[in-house]
Amino acid sequence: MCGIVGYVGKQNAVPVLISGLQSLEYRGYDSAGVAVLEENSIGIRKTKGKVDNLRNLLLNEPVSGNIGIGHTRWATHGAPSDMNAHPHFSNDDSIAVVHNGIIENYQELKDELEKKGYEFYSETDTETVAHLIHYFYKQGNDLLEAVRKTLERIEGSYALGVLCTDYPDQLIAARKESPLIVGLGKGENFIASDIPAILNYTKDAYILGDKELAVIKSDDVKLYDIKGNEIEREVYTYKWDVEAAQKNGYEHFMLKEIYEQPKVVKDNLSKRFSEDGKSIELDGIKLGKKELENINQIYIVACGTAYYAGLIGKYLLERIVRIPVNADVASEFRYKDPLIDEKTLVMVISQSGETADTHSALKLAKSKGARVLGVVNAVGSSIARDADDVLYTLAGFEIAVASTKAFSAQVVAMYLITLHIAQELGKIDEKEFAEIKKAMDNLPSQINDILNKAVLKIRGFVDKYIESKNVFYIGRGLDYVVGMEGSLKLKEIAYLHSEPYAAGELKHGPIALIEEATLVVGVVTQEALFDKTKSNIKEVKARGAKVLAIAMEGNSSIEDVADDVIYIPRTHWMLTSLLANIPQQLFAYYMALGLGEDIDKPRNLAKSVTVE
């Protein structure tokens, strides 16, 4: 969850670290800090709050040096405070550490270290790492061996950056289950949790694997496994550029990413059909008729927004392919002893490819013999490396914590996978495939049409509904699923109490919550269910609710029961979720803007959830 950056080179490390931390602030913004090797000491500056607070601190209390590490925190152990902020350091200030992850046995290690005379000043698990490295170092080990021995003792997940005053020309990095890359420059090298932190300086990097370490100098990088054996690794060159990590005139990254969706959808569709447009090509994924006939069930496993994309996949696969599909939240899947075996296909969905619970679910599925298909955005991520097959979602950088374009890319992936499996198993004929393909080709322009036409209307609705304290999203089938995503967005960035309900379930309890002027967002894009959902809207209207409906063009009778309506262009029934979600994104964005919230950095949330 936290963001790590490090630098070794010829220039002053501080501007590089601050630039990197600002690019990584979406990973955590409870506190921030840097540690810089000066002449014979480590200068540490850290403070509660955002990176701007740290920048101001450094103006008043500057440090300078050519090697340093930085950190922006999302709190796990200990409340956000100056003392709990990273970096953490040994009692003699000779070793400094930044850490992303959770040390599960930190209390046991802390008790041991206190008996050896070490004093603890923070509430964090990370401070044990600094003291443990110091302990092994003072036993006569060199710094790399001290770090390696420490890693053998700690349990849990980590991405680490380590400085030592006795090694003024290097820093050490290590990772297990938390992302970390080593950026490769000319006369300078870097570490970072993610490539945006160092894109200004390099696009070339080593992607560290689990239980791997790196010794990084300005002109040299050496990689090691957990046993201390030197290893080789190919250099990965990122294709994204600096512009992708900038706002480009938009007020927020979230708004920029909403408007990037026509391109994202087009990119995902244009690269996944055969030249004649009559079949799906999924990046060489080996899921042909022979493999699929051996599959008797599918699990789709994900967290948060990705889980809702998975629910859309479940609905489509069951209806079109007629195969049993279970969709599970990853944190539940991994502890329920799921009924899976070698005849199970498990799809895991994650934007970052580093989501801790989802990655653990992947490993559990493989241990039971299941075939795993990863649907991820981040090339070279843990899930991408460990899955049997990978479908990349081609969304580019997504900086805002609240996912928009990555969700749309994941939904498109569900469309493509469904059609691919349906074709391979003979569950769809050429005519229907061609009809759906034609409708999919129209999606980018239809999204653009919604973005151009809906903004002014939605901003007007925001003025009308800005005082809402409770919001309910209702729908049936795919409309219910897309309402879940709309409700989540409103929670994430506007901090409004918002709940999604299956419209047919209202009378079984939730309708008791409806009172005068309660806002209900009714999603009614499924034509086969239109009249049923319309009746449910009448029920909430009879109890005083205000209704904002999302419907397909041509279904104007919804105006008889809704106070306001946003129309989406007409499309094939299986594609409505993608279009219906665009107005929901805009509504959540402008509600949050009207309430004065920090849209790109919502409280208590971080972009990449790399801890359980």
Q: Which residues are catalytic?
A: 2, 607
Helix, strand, coil in percent for the chain, rounding step 5: 40, 25, 35
Strands 95-100 and 88-89: antiparallel
Partners of 373 in beta bridges:
347, 389
DSSP labels, 201-221:
T-SEEEE--TTEEEEEETTEE
Instruction: Pull the structure tokens for residue 133.
Output: 């490295």
CA neighbours closer than 13 Å in the CB half-sphere of residue 390: 18
Q: Which residues are CB-contacts of 382 (< 8 A; sequence separation ≥ 6)?
A: 177, 179, 210, 353, 354, 359
Q: What are phi and psi of 37, to 5 degrees?
A: -75, 115
Q: Which residues are CB-contacts of 34 (< 8 A; sequence separation ≥ 6)?
A: 13, 14, 17, 18, 21, 44, 45, 46, 54, 58, 63, 68, 69, 70, 71, 87
470-475 sheet: strands from edge to edge: 497-502, 470-475, 519-524, 546-552, 564-568
- Alpha carbon of 275 to those of 278, 285, 320, 358, 428: distances in Å? 8, 17, 24, 34, 19
Quick one: how many helices (H) and strands (E) in the chain? Answer: 18, 25
- Is the peptide bond preceding residue 583 cis, with omega within 30 degrees of 0? no
Place of tokens 């063009």: 553
State which H helix or E strand residue 155 sits in. Answer: none
The amino acid occupying position 275 is E
Whether 361 contacts 355, CB under 8 Å: no
Burial 424-444 (b: 16+ CB within 10 A, else e): beebbeeeebeebbebbebbb
The amino acid occupying position 394 is L
Is 577 in a helix, a strand, or coil?
helix
Instruction: Pull the structure tokens for residue 454.
Output: 């809906």
Whether 101 contacts 30, CB under 8 Å: no
Q: Which of 25, 129, 128, 35 is nearest to 73 (CA)?
A: 25
Partners of 498 in beta bridges:
471
Q: DSSP state, 30?
A: S
Alpha-helical (H) ranges within 546-575 are none
State which H helix or E strand residue 549 sits in. Answer: strand 546-552
Partners of 225 in beta bridges:
212
State which H helix or E strand residue 548 sits in. Answer: strand 546-552
Is 4 in a helix, a strand, or coil?
strand
The amino acid occupying position 384 is A
Vertex 78 angle, CA 73 and 79, to 5°: 75
Instruction: Pull the structure tokens for residue 532.
Output: 């049923």
- Give long-range contacts, CB 8 A cutoff, 24+ apart: 507-510: 507/539, 510/472
Instruction: Pull the structure tokens for residue 552.
Output: 């397909």
